[in-house]
Structure 1
Amino acid sequence: MQGISRWFCHMSSVLVCWVVATVANADTKNAIPVKVGAYEYGVVYFFENDKPSGFTPELIADLNAIQSKYFFELVETSSRRRYNDLAMGGFDLILMESPDWDWRDQDVLFSDPIVVEYDLFIARKEDVPGPGWFDDITRHELLCVLGFHYKFASFNANPEYLQDHFGVLFHYDEQQLFDHLLDGEGDVGIVSAGFLARAYAKNPELSQRVFIGPSPDFSYELVAVISKQSAISLAEFNDLIRIVKREGNIAQEWRDMHGNLPTG
């Protein structure tokens, strides 16, 4: 009799799990898909053990958890391709952008601010006599990421402009830039505070090799850039972000990803 009871309880649990999974799948199938663009940048989006990770995937999961009308799904792009991809309908919106990054002349909408990020000047510690070394960074050989925007260059991301006016050396992403700087290339690199915090978390000894400039290149609010043809309206997206901020913990998640480095 006890064996029958255990079997019945087991089958009841299996049935409950099946029903829950079926309902969840039905909700996903009935939901309106919203494609979200992302490219490798700081702690916004990166790969950990060959798996997508970062703030954007976490925020997408939070947005899906609080409602069932829309299903947000990540679509990869690149820092240079993202403008055309959004214009051509490759995704509905792209997360964690600054309007100053060549978006203001595009036919797009901007969400309410989500978090604040900083771009930091960094150098090899043995090369820096003191904070004044960063007073005029344009007299140093600079390492930048191709397709990124910097305040010192008035947010002009054109590679030819940056090379002609500042002699910039380019790298594909922040990790490549960071590695080359530590290996002796250039004088000053520019990376996001989130990236540097992640690098320090993986290898705390790196903080002994890096001097951070006393002032950032730029501090900026990160928003979603939304196509006017998006499956979700600007007002609805802002409402969801407000709910996630109120009921979730995205501010703490962002702070945790930055360690002791600035977050706004």
Structure 2
Amino acid sequence: MRHWGRWNHGWLAAICLLSTGLLYAAEVVRVGGAHFPPYVIKSNLNESSGLLPQLLDSLNQVQDDYHFTMLPTAIVRRFSDLQRGRIDMAIFENPEWGWQGIDVAAVDMGLEDAELFVARDEEGRDQGYFEQVQGKRLALYRGYHYGFAGFNSDPEYLTQTFNANLGHSHDSNLLMVLRGRADVALVTRSNLYDFIKRNREHARALLISERTDQVYRHHAMIRTGAPISPERFAELLEELRLKGELARIFSPYRIAVMPVVADNSTAIDAVD
């Protein structure tokens, strides 16, 4: 009976521990991961790398209430995935990139990147080459919103109005410029310098604009009803900022880590 009592006590203790663990299990937050180098890089093996997985790892290490996990999506599909609850948030976004009319809250992440014009460096060509893109052969990323085009990402509009070739790779667009198949490519600053780091032989062959198409602050777009509130997510980002984690992850890619104002979340109302 003594052994039975000990076994029964141990069994009850295990049940209590299990129940406590279930009660305090971390809530899963599903973050959309669309191919967006160097933020998300999808390989042919369906595996993903890049800055987003690093950020999610840091978010998971700094607290135990939430478990951030990446769920694959696509540039053009991320809006519907968030609206129907397949993902809880989209990160490295801008409220002007098609989010108007969608019921989300935008959290300023305090990360700043830019879109640059890039051409092949040729004799007699200088910064004046970038003053006018009309009439030039453009290499653009399909689904992206560009400032010079009024943030209109419609493929037909871009091809007909700006003689644009729309691809799915920044690297391919830069190679088109280098090979003379396009006059100008628009590339994010972070991806451009990652490309140069990986392809040193091309560095001197590129003419990079001082002019920017757009300078943007990255936002997290969080759906209404998500497991985490915009305010709590902003607090976690601030904790990572103070620990130097954001600088460690993003500074090597020339993504500026900027100060954030106290109230950095904005609701974007849905259109009826």
Q: For this structure pair, what is the TM-score category when the shorter chain's length is used for normalisation? A: 0.7 to 0.9
1:34 corresponds to 2:29: yes
- Of 189, 204, 217, which aligns to 1:208? 204
C-alpha distance 151-112 of structure 1, shift in aligned 2 (>3 A): same
In the other structure, the counterpart of 1:228 is 224
1:43 aligns with 2:17: no
Deviations 1:194-239 (A, max 9, x none): 1111111112121111110121111100010111121111111111
In 2 relative to 1, CA 49–82 (structure 1 residues): closer, same or farther, beyond 3 Å? closer
Q: In structure 2, what residue type is equivalent to 1:96?
A: F
SS in 2 for 1:165: helix
Distance 1:132 1:61 in 2: 43
1:72 aligns with 2:68: yes
One-letter identity of the residue aligned with 1:160: E
CA–CA distance in 1 between the matches of 2:85 and 2:123? 47
SS across alignment from 2:140? strand
* Conserved 8 A contact 2:111-2:256: no
Runs (4 or more) in structure 1 with deviation over 3 Å come to: 47-51, 261-264
Q: Per-residue deviation at 1:167?
A: 1.6
Root mean square deviation, CA, Å:
2.3
| Equivalent-residue separation in structure 2 for 1:112 and 1:239 (angstroms) | 11
| Shift, 1:48, TM fit | 6.9
Describe how 1:112-261 pairs up with structure 2 within 5 A. 112-126=108-122, 129-258=125-254
2:48 counterpart SS class: strand
- Structure 1 stretch 171-180 or stretch 92-101: which is displaced more? 171-180
Give the letter for the 1:36 counterpart.
Answer: V
Q: Give ranges in structure 2 of 5+ residues lacking alignment.
A: 1-17, 259-272
Letter matched to residue 232 of structure 2? E
In structure 2, the residue corresponding to 1:160 is in which secondary structure? helix
- What is the identity, as a one-letter code, of the residue corresponding to 1:202? R
Cα offset for 1:173? 2.4
Give how far 1:113 is off: 2.8
Of residues 76, 99, 106, the one that matches 1:110 is: 106
TM-superposed deviation, 1:256:
0.8
| Residues 263, 170 of structure 1: alpha-carbon distance in 2 compared, 3 angstrom cutoff | farther
TM-score, with length taken from structure 1: 0.83
Aligned sequence identity (%): 28
Alpha-carbon distance in 2 for matches of 1:70, 1:169: 41
Match of 2:13 in 1: none
State the secondary structure of the residue aligned to 1:236: helix
Structure 2 residue identity aligned to 1:71: H
Rate the CA distance shift 1:101–1:209 in 2: closer, same or farther, 3 A. same
What's the offset of the Cα at 1:103?
A: 0.9
Cα distance, 1:122–1:194 mapped onto 2, change above 3 Å: same
Comparing 131-140 with 70-79, greater Cα deviation is found at: 131-140
Paired residues of 1:55 and 1:254 also in contact (CA < 8 A)? yes
1:127, distance to aligned residue in structure 2 (A): 6.9
Give the superposition deviation at 1:125: 1.1
- Whether contact under 8 Å (2:111, 2:217) holds in the other structure is yes
Q: Which has the higher strand share?
A: 2
Structure whose residues are more often helix by fraction: 1
Structure 1 match to 2:87: 91
Aligned residues: 238
